[in-house]
Structure 1
Amino acid sequence: MAEVASVPAGYRLLLPSDWLQIPLRQGTTAEIERAVAAEVFARAPGDVPRDKLTPLRLEVERRLRAVVADAHRTNALEIYLPVRLAGERNLGASIVVSEARLPSRSAADGPDVVVTDPVEVAARLLSKTPGTGVDLSSGEVDGALAVRRDQVMAADPGRGAEMDSRRVDYLVSVPGEPGLWFMAAFSTIGGGDPRDDLAEALVEWFDALMATFRWSWA
């Protein structure tokens, strides 16, 4: 990869119109939930009866509360959720975007040292022995080194995850910012089984989505 002197100002993804972006750095959790609920129900078709919207609103708010609270715990930057209010099945899926500096080398006589070389970080991630069913691979996303991780996560009711889920993470080195990594974490329950045909199709969709990822520059 060519050396990059400047740092990107952000990123772009070509998301379908029925996915909603939820920024997490603007307001409290309650304010975010209210703003998102208002946006979701502003999209409701005019012929949907109010008595059908009420339980749907409660379900959306429940899901939002769990997802936003979990994202705040991990210092996420934004969440993307699918929104359907026309009687179609709402996908149990989400994308959480965050950034992190990944310590990957333990000093012999001290704490972990942050490795700034993306190639070394990627090599160390890939060399770690994965757990059962974890798939690791590497490549590039818009010219930046990236590591892709695919695994099944066990249910965790304490964090709002009532069922096992399929999770695919993309860790992308940020150009011009040694040691900083962009992270996009896709999660889905599929049709109730994280390895079923729906889950596989959604993972393929997320991989295609990440192929549209582009850095944005000031």
Structure 2
Amino acid sequence: MSAAQEAPASPTSYALVLPPGWRQIPLRRGTERGLKRVLDHAFEGMPRDEVFTYRRDLEARLWQRIADAREADGLDLYLPVELMHGISVPASILVSETRLAEADDSGAEERALLLAGSGDGREVVDLDGAPAVRTERTAEADPGRGVEFPSRSVDYQVPVPGQASRWLTVAFSTVGAEDVNGELSLLLVDLFDAVMTTFRWRSAGDAEMSQPVKNLRGVR
């Protein structure tokens, strides 16, 4: 077998196994359809005329989140639409693209180590058999900047195989009035880390391929 034959195919998509009760909103195409599914699920079984105002307000807030995510080169937004232990889950997952200003000839592991060494809270982890950078942060409320509640966030940055300057970022955040070090926040972080163990690259030859490389997106 030649070296070219042995080389892995360049990925065209990614796959994540979502927790029960989470839904995907694609950000580059099919957004309206995905948003409608989220809203329909959130208000399932409720009289439409009684929830019209609440649905309209939620839709407006979600469109703002979608606009913010698109500005961040977002590909997919994942939201919980069911209660967990009887409470609403204040969390989201955003998958986006990141391009480095300059690419070099170093391998993925060297690039990940360099990125991990450039800030606090970063570590190199294994993701689908390759190095990725995991970052965890907390932020205090800042009403002066419109940040009403404290938050905890975790993101994974992984280089796209075969494309030195292109990275995929999977970012989780939980926002709420409770202590960001509280039990719920830590439980949600554990849940997200478990989701990331299911991360897989998909190539054009895979049966579960979802989308062309220019629009990497998740499949469930």
TM-score of the superposed pair, with normalisation by structure 1: 0.77
Once residues 195 and 168 of structure 1 are traced to their aligned partners in structure 2, the CA distance between those partners, rounded to angstroms, is: 13
Q: 1:127 aligns with which of 103, 117, 122?
A: 117
- Post-superposition CA distance 1:157-199 (Å, at most 9, x none): 7997532211101011222222321110001025633221100
Q: 1:13 aligns with which of 16, 19, 22?
A: 16
Q: Does residue 89 in structure 1 map to residue 87 in structure 2?
A: yes
Tell me if the contact between 2:77 and 2:93 (Cα under 8 Å) persists in the aligned partners: yes
Instruction: Give 5+ residue unaligned stretches, structure 2.
Output: 1-5, 205-220
Which secondary structure state, in structure 2, belongs to the residue aligned with residue 14 of structure 1? Answer: coil
- Post-superposition CA distance 1:115-172 (Å, at most 9, x none): 3532232222222242xxxx21112111121010000134467997532211101011
Tell me if the contact between 1:93 and 1:186 (Cα under 8 Å) persists in the aligned partners: yes
Q: Does residue 115 in structure 1 map to residue 104 in structure 2?
A: yes
Matches within 5 A, 1:192-211: 192-211=178-197
Quick check: 36-45 or 180-189, which moved more?
36-45
Quick check: 52-61 or 205-214, which moved more?
52-61
Which secondary structure state, in structure 2, belongs to the residue aligned with residue 77 of structure 1? Answer: strand
- Over the matched positions of the two proteins, sequence identity in percent amounts to 42
Matches within 5 A, 1:134-145: 135-145=121-131
Once residues 189 and 10 of structure 1 are traced to their aligned partners in structure 2, the CA distance between those partners, rounded to angstroms, is: 29
- Post-superposition CA distance 1:53-102 (Å, at most 9, x none): 33541442243123212111111111111113899432111111012122
Cα distance, 1:45–1:60 mapped onto 2, change above 3 Å: same
Tell me if the contact between 1:67 and 1:160 (Cα under 8 Å) persists in the aligned partners: no
Which secondary structure state, in structure 1, belongs to the residue aligned with residue 11 of structure 2? Answer: coil
